[in-house]
Structure 1
Amino acid sequence: MGLADDRTPGFSDQQTRWDRWRRTLRLHWGAIAIGVVFLVLSLVYNITIPAWEADNELSHFNYVRYIIDHRALPAIDAVIDPPAITDVCRSGEENILAELTHQFRQPPLYYLLGAATTFWTDADSSGPAAANPFRVWDPSQLGYNFALHDPAQEGMPYSGTLLALHMLRLLSGLIGLAGLLATYLLGLLLFDGRRSLALAMMAVNAFIPQYLFASAIVNNDILIAALSSWCVYLCIYAVLRDGRARSLFLPAFLAALALTAKYNGLVLLPLVALTALVVLLRSLRSNRERIVPVVIGIGVMTLLASIPAIVLLAYNKVFYHEFFGSYSTVSNSLPDLLPATAASRGSGVGYAVQYAFATLWGQFGWDTITLPGWIVAVLALVCLLAAAGVILFLLDRKQPRRMRWIVVAASLFLLATLVQSFAKSIGSLEPRGRYIFPAISVICYLLVLGLHRVLPQRVKLAGVTALWIGLLILAIAVPFAVLQPAYAAPSIESSAELLPGEEPLDVTIGGFAQLLGYRVDSQKLAAGDPVEVTLVWKALQPTPSNYSMSIHLLDANRYPRAWVMSHPGHGNYPTSIWQPGDVFRDTYSLYWADTAWEQLPAQALLKVALFCPGTGVVADDYLQVVNAQGDSLGDAVYFGRIKVHGEQPTTDSLAQASPAYTFGDEIALDSVQLSPETPLPGQPLEITMQWQALRQPDADYTVFAHLINAQGQWVTGNDLPLTGGYYPSSLWEGGETVTHTHTLDIPASLPIGGYTVQVGLYDPQSGQRLPVTGRDGTQMVDDQFELASFEAPRFRSYIPMVVVTDDSAP
């Protein structure tokens, strides 16, 4: 009977193939649905993440463009033309130049694939024209963004460089999808065809936000993840289903390819070696006479599969004199794997594990945006629960022995990946979670297996399903709740009217920026507390340059205690994209810093300026400020009055004894010390006064100390704001005690007679003195009191007689 007789009657070959496809679709529709949702989310991430806003994405992109433009791999000292910079401030130029070729040390596989995908695009630049140099200090304040963006130029439809960039991101998404297929097949294999658990594995992998992020940017981490997932699957397949030597070729080949994608593919080599050992032992057990052919077969398969890695290592050795190319840190970090080295860093291993765990689930942008801490804590609890389940599985002797050994091997592989990622971080104790991507399918397997084992029977599947649904919700939320806010420009308003609580300033900086007003959230703070400052800006005219903004929190001596330097809008609204008439509010937090010479309480004020940052040899170039009348205010505007207090005053601190003098109902003078105790002509008189606020004073009062002669005439004096202006009196609170030191210079030549030192307080704005009342209730004349009195003594002048001899006389 021929082949035609074996066919179903009435069906053509095409119909039979279609039936197979329909049957496959019915069996695996869940996996297809997960893949579609993953691709959609990958595209959402792709579009949401601004250009160049992923760690080293600029350099990864330029690697691809170098291959396209030069049809060769970049040399270790390769140079490319920087993007054209028209900004007179040349904002972030050094940052851009440092990133242009930083990743040229990487293995080439991802970039070769990228070149094959985007060779047809017309990329017209090598990166952004301006960058944010401040992001490395405090991204939450100064901006998470590497580049300064212009939404009008970066929106769809994409063209030129942006088209090439997003096409490479799409390539990453397709590579990520290929990795998910391997995870799904691995789940079917390990869970013996139970599609619900295999789908759970695939879904967990697909909806880990960090995996989605890597699938939406230009990077080689996603390629190593996909290749590793396929290598792990094929190794398990060789052990469980196909023990022939030829089954080793594909996993060994993928391990070699992984090494040409990223050097952390090294962790796959022990896995492939272990698989080869299992195949060898199984062959030895079944037929000892065939051991030699099996060994030869394994050797030949391994050698053929290793050709890509051998070629890469040989290339590196010839051109870079290092097997790992210019990525010499791989060789240097291998000693970190030694037990003695790891033990010496044991105190930081706990932190390194925590950091790797947190960033495995989500570390975005330039490794500065992370998931909220409570989400990481929930995931940690889930993983601890799964770990307990894995231990129970290993202790359960009812489970097949080979499956328990596979779980042991999977756990050791994950541990090896962690150790390698720790070594790759060169002991910085901050191994990125993406360095663990070679074990991503293994992590998903252990999570699903552990949860399924530890949960009660009636909720096993529900618990596993809840895990991936929770991750799906998180994955959907990240672009809108985490990424978009990090790069969002401030809201633009059309009205220039100030809101309640905002104080007017009305100054113009550089002719194009008007600072309408400001708001300080608190007029009082303690050292170390934040003060939130909101600036209200209005654009007057366009400027092609990206000026930086500085906000300084100064003490009364105008010494800076805190400062913020950033591009406006936390780096997301640079001055080059301001449009005339736009009004926006920009809010920052500053923290008063203690000093060795701290004096509290104190007054603080704010200083704002716009400038072009200088270099090591060129000073910052500050723009000039003018007020509404056109008067120059210099290169900055000063404003605000903030009280920085020490211990909070209380009503219990009011002196029990009556003060020496009372000034109105506002201030009392508790005590006075003189040095010297009796004033002397020619010696400065230092007066230390202990003041106490009876309530909050109405004004910043000035204290005067005048020297008056016996005829009531003014001889000399010294007027000085209380505390020298460091802590003005209008900031005092009832019950506060404040020390003021005053120096009065007593002239050396005084006419003979009696003198008094008179002291009082007055408002410098009106010149009005505060009324002074003595301890007995007596009102002091002229609103002043006599602090001290002395007599200028009579001095006799004595001129000694000097006899001069003339030695030249005869």
Structure 2
Amino acid sequence: MNPIPNSRLVIDHWSLVIVSLFIALSVLYGATIPIFETPDANGHYAYIHELTEGRGLPVQGTPSGERVAGYVASHPPLYYALCAALTFWNDEDVDRQDWAWRNPYHAMGYPGSVANKNYLIHTPAERFPWHGTPLTMHIARLVSTVLGLIAVVATYGIALELFPDRRWLALGAASLTAFNPMFIFIAARVSNDAAVAAFGSLVVWGAVRLAVRGLSRWGLALTGAALGLATLSKLSGLTLAPALALALLFDTLRTWRQHPQVSPCRRSRLVIGHWSLVILTALAVSGWWFVRNQYLYGELMGTHAWLSHTATVRPEPIGFFEVIPQLQGLEMSYWAMFGWFNVAVAPWMYRFWWALVRLAMVGLVVLVLMDQWGRLSSLPPRQARKPAPRTAGLVTLAVAFLLVFGSVWRFIMIVLGSQGRYLAPVIAAISIFLMLGLSRLVPRRWTPGLAVFLGGASLALALISLFVFILPAYATPEVVQESDLPEEMKRFDLTFEGTPIQLLGGSIEADIVHPGEPAPVSLYWRALEQPQKDLVAFVQVLGRDFEPIAGVDCYPGRGTFPPTLWQPGLIYRDRYALPLAADAQSPAIAALHAGLRSQGGDQRAATLPSGEPAPDLILLDLVPLRPVEPLSADVAFPVGARLDEAITLVGYDLSPFAIRHSPFLTITLVWRAEEVPDADYTVFVHLVDQGGALVAQADHPPLEGAYRTSFWAPGDVVRDPYRLAVDAGQPQGLPLLPCDCTLLVGMYDPRTGDRRPAYDGLGARFENDAIVAGGVTLQ
């Protein structure tokens, strides 16, 4: 029979460390993340409040269903009843409006948003010591933490059930559950996901033990009850029922083989008793919920009522294979996607988890193809057909995962969005398979080191997720002193019409910015007296032709700090990281533009400290916008002349030209900066005939002022086009054709008219400081 060694839940100092750290992290997450900044938190809270008010379970299509906010009213009640039982004594009415202050620009479901991560505007009423609604929320979060702890312990227990002689494998699997940043987030928020994770893990634990060695009557009853509790937590808990049925089937086969001396009739009664005990206890716990659904909605599951109140239902289900592109979001959000699916972590963290999963998959393939094949090939044919106890447990575990994963796949076909939290019922299975696959790729003696590495890395990533990404998303602007303002920042002290709000100035906090990369920006606000209106800030970075290449509209503080919360006289530093458009034309000058407007309204006019009206377009700061890769300096017509020591005219390109088709000639000059020019120069491009008469000309700053020379840096290559009208100024409108002309190029200071000294490649100075670039024949 190849029996598996007897197993028991071994509690040692390492398992206690994992449990303690999980509790500490969950409490830390729960205490520091603002309330209602988790998916559907408003609906989950409203469900709890409905119960604490004594109004019973919400019903879709009635006022109670509307109060609970959409589809949440269709959820089974277990989690909410637990929370209500612990918070019914708390008076929540005193501050109901404080949590109803919505951010009108909330970026729900957009992880790339640079602001507006917050669903609500958070006030001092939420600060510790908590009372009213915040107290209810934090108590409910602690309920989630306890439920999350059950899932962590179950992960450890399932792994020991399968591998009682590999304690470090079990510890590694438990740490992958305990220190998964997203699971900590689940265990620190108000949501029924923690409940289905807890009771789903208990169902899987019972099913695996049943498949491996069998259960006592009490064990069978408790496993059936766990299935009922998982179903009463979230309907996805019922998805585990077939996995439990498979475990019962393994138990049936084992019972039939282990008792050949017992009559078939008695063995049948024993098997039927096992099945009946599980089914009846599950129905005793959760059956009433299906009866209620049938009575209220005419269906056992209540799914149609749920879908009819879900705003994200697809107009038409997508195809089976169309789900595949959605799996990336599912995997990312299994590890880390916070807020209302809009707070992501660093790409390198996702790459780490991606590699972890792929390596584990390789290890599992090796395990199945090599280890199991080797075992089966070494056994007699009849014995090889009998599933080993551990194999039965692993198959049960895999089926549980596949059932939930398949239900999530189907869910994505029907509903927009793919969130990793939907896999919560089988987080234990996922962690065990990850650890099992990874451990197969290293020598067995390295398993303790692997477990410590995975636990330590996961713990570090959980802390990074909280302190580097989650909390900064909801941080209000820091208060600074006048002496803290950047010395190089130009002061404007703009006061906006109808408000006491001043914008002292702003800066792009980088010497250079590039297309496709974030531009760090700071604005400095001050209220002269208490604002009475919550105006919206607009922050833009402008590129060529003053076209916006980045921008956001939000309350100051990236959406967290409306002006009515400000304290008069304080200066607030408002920081942003605005991603510049990847197709922004460069080189150019990036200009910072900001101000205030009413919600959905026009820009508020501003006045200068002198009392004069400020221009509509005020450029608070200017920095070079340079291409990520330097432009090519290849030219068709090389020149190699210099303007003093600062600028080289590398050469030029000439567009095909036939005057009979068009009177315009396009010449693209290619400059290279050798030093930083000391002024903003204007370029002159003259086309003269053999007699020195001017045939055509163009005078303007490089790139028509879009990239002035004072912003150039050594190594900059600037491709600078000029359009010459060759018929301009001619008595007959056109020059006598064909016409051999000379191209003269140079720069001058527009303030004085003085030309920049021009030299050829040998150091000889050009006459009139006009570079003789070459000849051009007009025909």
How would you bin the TM-score normalised by the shorter chain?
Answer: 0.7 to 0.9
Q: Which residue of 2 is the match for residue 394 of structure 1?
A: 372
Which of these residues, 463, 469, 483, is aligned with residue 450 of structure 2? 463
Aligned residue type for 1:164: T
Are the aligned partners of 2:636 and 2:652 in contact in 1 as well (CA < 8 Å)?
A: no
Q: Could you tell me which runs of 5 or more consecutive residues in structure 1 were left unpaired when the two chains were aligned.
A: 1-23, 83-96, 615-619, 679-683, 706-716, 749-758, 781-810
Return the alpha-carbon distance in structure 1 between the equivalents of residues 610 and 519 of structure 2: 30
| 2:82 is aligned with 1:113 | yes
Return the alpha-carbon distance in structure 1 between the equivalents of residues 223 and 752 of structure 2: 91
| 2:24 is aligned with 1:51 | no
Quickly say closer, same or farther: Cα 1:360–1:566, change in 2 above 3 A. Answer: same
Aligned residue type for 2:340: W
Q: Secondary structure at the match of 2:22?
A: helix
Offset of 1:235 from its aligned partner? Answer: 2.3
Q: Secondary structure at the match of 1:72?
A: coil
Quickly say closer, same or farther: Cα 1:149–1:132, change in 2 above 3 A. Answer: farther
Return the alpha-carbon distance in structure 2 between the equivalents of residues 699 and 361 of structure 1: 52
Q: Which residue of 1 is the match for residue 614 of structure 2?
A: 633
Aligned residue type for 1:415: L
Return the alpha-carbon distance in structure 2 between the equivalents of residues 303 and 61 of structure 1: 32
User: Aligned runs of 1:224-235 on 2, under 5 Å?
Assistant: 224-235=196-207
| 2:40 is aligned with 1:63 | no
Q: Which residue of 2 is the match for residue 290 of structure 1?
A: 266
Q: Secondary structure at the match of 2:135?
A: helix
Are the aligned partners of 2:481 and 2:571 in contact in 1 as well (CA < 8 Å)?
A: yes
Which of these residues, 178, 190, 201, is aligned with residue 218 of structure 1? 190
Q: Which residue of 2 is the match for residue 363 of structure 1?
A: 337
Q: Which residue of 1 is the match for residue 248 of structure 2?
A: 276
Q: Which residue of 2 is the match for residue 14 of structure 1?
A: none
Offset of 1:722 from its aligned partner? Answer: 7.9
Q: Which residue of 2 is the match for residue 494 of structure 1?
A: 481
Q: Could you tell me which runs of 5 or more consecutive residues in structure 2 were left unpaired when the two chains were aligned.
A: 1-7, 380-386, 687-696, 732-743, 770-779
Offset of 1:772 from its aligned partner? Answer: 12
Quickly say closer, same or farther: Cα 1:491–1:168, change in 2 above 3 A. Answer: same
Give the greater-gyration-radius structure (CA): 1
Return the alpha-carbon distance in structure 2 between the equivalents of residues 200 and 466 of structure 1: 9
Return the alpha-carbon distance in structure 1 between the equivalents of residues 313 and 537 of structure 2: 44
Q: Which residue of 1 is the match for residue 693 of structure 2?
A: none
Q: Secondary structure at the match of 2:594?
A: strand
| 2:56 is aligned with 1:72 | yes
Q: Which residue of 2 is the match for residue 570 of structure 1?
A: 558
Report Cα offsets for 1:725-771 as digits up to 9, x if no partner.
Answer: 566676679985644458899999xxxxxxxxxx9999998575769
Which of these residues, 609, 613, 618, is aligned with residue 595 of structure 2? 609
Return the alpha-carbon distance in structure 2 between the equivalents of residues 779 and 33 of structure 1: 82
Q: Secondary structure at the match of 1:142?
A: coil
Which of these residues, 306, 325, 328, is aligned with residue 307 of structure 2? 328
Greater displacement, 739-748 / 494-503:
739-748
Offset of 1:167 from its aligned partner? Answer: 0.5
Q: Secondary structure at the match of 2:493?
A: strand
Aligned residue type for 1:290: R
Q: Which residue of 1 is the match for residue 383 of structure 2?
A: none
Offset of 1:297 from its aligned partner? Answer: 3.3
Per the normalisation by structure 2, the TM-score is 0.75
Which of these residues, 212, 215, 222, is aligned with residue 250 of structure 1? 222
| 2:167 is aligned with 1:186 | no
Report Cα offsets for 1:436-481 as digits up to 9, x if no partner.
Answer: 2211222343345455555434333443344334434444554334
Offset of 1:412 from its aligned partner? Answer: 2.6
Which of these residues, 121, 126, 135, is aligned with residue 154 of structure 1? 126
Are the aligned partners of 2:30 and 2:189 in contact in 1 as well (CA < 8 Å)?
A: yes
Are the aligned partners of 2:522 and 2:573 in contact in 1 as well (CA < 8 Å)?
A: no
Q: Which residue of 1 is the match for residue 426 of structure 2?
A: 439
Are the aligned partners of 1:521 and 1:532 in contact in 2 as well (CA < 8 Å)?
A: yes
Residue identity over aligned pairs, in percent, reads 24
Are the aligned partners of 1:238 and 1:244 in contact in 2 as well (CA < 8 Å)?
A: no
Return the alpha-carbon distance in structure 2 between the equivalents of residues 332 and 770 of structure 1: 67
Q: Which residue of 2 is the match for residue 752 of structure 1?
A: none
| 2:401 is aligned with 1:414 | yes
Greater displacement, 407-416 / 469-478:
469-478
Report Cα offsets for 1:628-684 as digits up to 9, x if no partner.
Answer: 21211255533444555679578876965799xx999999999999x9989xxxxx9
Return the alpha-carbon distance in structure 2 between the equivalents of residues 381 and 722 of structure 1: 52
| 2:571 is aligned with 1:582 | yes
Offset of 1:215 from its aligned partner? Answer: 1.2
Are the aligned partners of 2:119 and 2:340 in contact in 1 as well (CA < 8 Å)?
A: yes
Return the alpha-carbon distance in structure 2 between the equivalents of residues 31 and 774 of structure 1: 78
Aligned residue type for 1:584: R
Quickly say closer, same or farther: Cα 1:565–1:704, change in 2 above 3 A. Answer: same
Quickly say closer, same or farther: Cα 1:378–1:155, change in 2 above 3 A. Answer: farther
Count of aligned residue pairs for this structure pair = 702
Return the alpha-carbon distance in structure 2 between the equivalents of residues 642 and 474 of structure 1: 35
Return the alpha-carbon distance in structure 2 between the equivalents of residues 658 and 441 of structure 1: 69
Quickly say closer, same or farther: Cα 1:52–1:139, change in 2 above 3 A. Answer: farther
Quickly say closer, same or farther: Cα 1:777–1:321, change in 2 above 3 A. Answer: same
Report Cα offsets for 1:202-253 as digits up to 9, x if no partner.
Answer: 4443333322221111011111111111112222333444466775433233
Report Cα offsets for 1:107-135 as digits up to 9, x if no partner.
Answer: 22211222112111112317341326243
Higher relative contact order structure (alpha carbons within 8 Å, sequence separation ≥ 6): 2
Offset of 1:75 from its aligned partner? Answer: 2.2
Are the aligned partners of 1:357 and 1:433 in contact in 2 as well (CA < 8 Å)?
A: yes
Q: Which residue of 2 is the match for residue 85 of structure 1?
A: none
Return the alpha-carbon distance in structure 2 between the equivalents of residues 557 and 450 of structure 1: 56
| 2:117 is aligned with 1:144 | yes
Offset of 1:284 from its aligned partner? Answer: 4.4
Report Cα offsets for 1:267-303 as digits up to 9, x if no partner.
Answer: 2110122133234444545331125534653564324
Quickly say closer, same or farther: Cα 1:677–1:442, change in 2 above 3 A. Answer: closer
Which of these residues, 574, 591, 598, is aligned with residue 580 of structure 2? 591
Return the alpha-carbon distance in structure 2 between the equivalents of residues 657 and 28 of structure 1: 79
User: Aligned runs of 1:630-779 on 2, under 5 Å?
Assistant: 630-633=611-614, 637-641=618-622, 696=677, 698-699=679-680, 701=682, 736=718, 738-740=720-722, 766=751, 768=753
Are the aligned partners of 2:182 and 2:337 in contact in 1 as well (CA < 8 Å)?
A: yes
Which of these residues, 410, 417, 429, is aligned with residue 423 of structure 1? 410
| 2:356 is aligned with 1:379 | yes
Offset of 1:525 from its aligned partner? Answer: 5.7
| 2:292 is aligned with 1:315 | yes
Q: Which residue of 1 is the match for residue 135 of structure 2?
A: 163
Per the normalisation by structure 1, the TM-score is 0.72
Quickly say closer, same or farther: Cα 1:330–1:389, change in 2 above 3 A. Answer: farther
Return the alpha-carbon distance in structure 2 between the equivalents of residues 723 and 305 of structure 1: 75
